[in-house]
Amino acid sequence: MDPSRAVDLTESVVAFCRFARAKGLPGGLHRSLAALRAVKAVGSNDRECLKFALRAALCSSKAEWDLFDELFQTFEEPSRRTSKSGSGKQNKTIKVSGQRDTPSQYLIGHHASETKPETEGKTVAGASARERLATVDFSQVPQNDLVRLEELSLRLLRQMSLRLSRRLKPGYRPGPTDLRRTIRKLLAHGGEPIVLAFRNKKPQKNRLLIFLDVSGSMNAYTIFLLKFAYALEKHFRQVHTFLFSTTVVEVSDALRARRLSGALEKLSQLAAGWSAGTKIGASLHELNRLHSRKLQAGNTIFMILSDGWDTGAPEMLARELKTIRHRVRKVIWLNPLLGLAAYEPVTRGMTAALPHIDVFAPAHNLESLLALERYL
């Protein structure tokens, strides 16, 4: 095998890895190395095989898998246009003598002719699956109540009731005998099992899933509740936060920034449908469909923060909320409007949702959130 060819192949694989990383496929050097090894192992003659090998090495979830297909296609398109050699004998071995090949050529396995190399590379359109619908400016947010919110979050999460897991750990209350420790102890009594050691169930913490409404009607509370979510995310890994209005966006990672300002800046870049309309039912459906793994049976508390003004069908809201309730331990609905003296939950959405909620509580200020301690 021609050594220059191996070098070119390496180059093109590296180029693709860099391209993929820039377009949002996670992974660092180790992934690129894995990709290189994979490509070498399958041999590079067959474009399809090469794609599969790269995909197996570079992806690690369904979402990445889908993104990869999209990226691979966009990667090949500009280079199809830019490559310039004759198209005769490229099928079996794609080594073309003469000029230097564009990096992606080896990944593609065929050479088109006409165009010039100026348009190479980065002008790829439509590779981002995330559309940026609108941005918001969070820079003027006062941060004075943040400290208290963080204190509160610490207290809340400490309170979050514990569940016993099935994994056993050494314990002192009678339970299944721990023979390993019993044997160790019997040595002290000349081989008689006088002192028995036991194994007990291990307590396990609950997880929290926050589902925050950022639609227009919630504008007055959005920032405050976001700060609440930030405070919770900051200290605990077992919290997931989703924003919704007409679509659903997970923001757990954005909220895990070191400072609130950083988190808000990241958030403002996301198209979370700020101040848009509300389709609670459709959003819950989306959550059920795409993120069901985060709704772990038995140990998840689902907390929805919304005013219940819904433009979708109330039947859908009821159905989806019911599905979620089947999955999780507890459904808590925090409604900022509940703080108003005259408020009655009579909107269509709210009425439909009420039978499927375990706790219905206000969330318009710090005091109301403090009261949450009782429910977790």
Partner 1 sequence: MDLKRDRDATSPGSAGRQPFQDVDALVQGFGRLNYVADRALATAVFLAVELRKPLLIEGHAGLGKTEVAKVLASLLETALLRLQCYEGLDVNSAVYEWNYQKQLLAIKIEEKSDLSVEEKERHIFSKEFLLERPLLQSILAETASPVLLIDEIDRADEAFEAFLLELLSDFQITIPEMGTIKASHIPYVILTSNGTRELSDALKRRCFYHWIDYPSLEKETKIVSTHLPSMEADLRSDVVRFVQAVRQLDLAKPPGVAETLDCGQAVMSLGKHRLDEEVVEVTLGCLAKSMEDGRKIKDAGIRALLGNPE
Which segments of the chain does DSSP mark as H helices, in order?
3-22, 29-42, 47-58, 62-82, 105-108, 146-159, 179-186, 219-235, 252-255, 260-269, 280-290, 314-327, 348-353, 366-370
C-alpha pair distances (Å), 4 with each of 8, 61, 133, 320? 6, 34, 46, 58
**Which of 14, 33, 56, 146 is the binder for partner 1 (CB under 8 A)?**
56
Q: Rounded CA gap, 58 and 31, in Å?
A: 6
Instruction: Select from 165-173, 245-253, 349-357, 365-373 the region that touches partner 1 (CB under 8 A).
Output: 165-173
Q: Which of residues 233-292 bind partner 1 (CB under 8 A)?
A: 292
Q: Rounded CA gap, 151 and 31, in Å?
A: 40
**Which of 22, 129, 134, 183 is the binder for partner 1 (CB under 8 A)?**
183
200 binds partner 1 (CB under 8 A): no
**Which of 16, 25, 31, 264 is the binder for partner 1 (CB under 8 A)?**
31
- How many helices, marked H, and strands, marked E, lie in the chain? 14, 8
182 binds partner 1 (CB under 8 A): yes
41 binds partner 1 (CB under 8 A): yes
**Which of 90, 247, 275, 296 is the binder for partner 1 (CB under 8 A)?**
296
Instruction: Select from 143-151, 176-184, 241-249, 361-369 the region that touches partner 1 (CB under 8 A).
Output: 176-184
38 binds partner 1 (CB under 8 A): yes
**Which of 22, 24, 37, 143 is the binder for partner 1 (CB under 8 A)?**
37
C-alpha pair distances (Å), 171 with each of 79, 164, 175, 224? 64, 13, 8, 43
Q: How many CB atoms sit inside 10 A of residue 84's CB?
A: 17
Residues that bind partner 1 (CB under 8 A): 1, 3, 6-7, 10, 30-31, 34, 37-38, 40-44, 46, 48-49, 52-53, 55-57, 59-62, 64-65, 165-168, 179-180, 182-183, 191, 193, 292-294, 296, 323
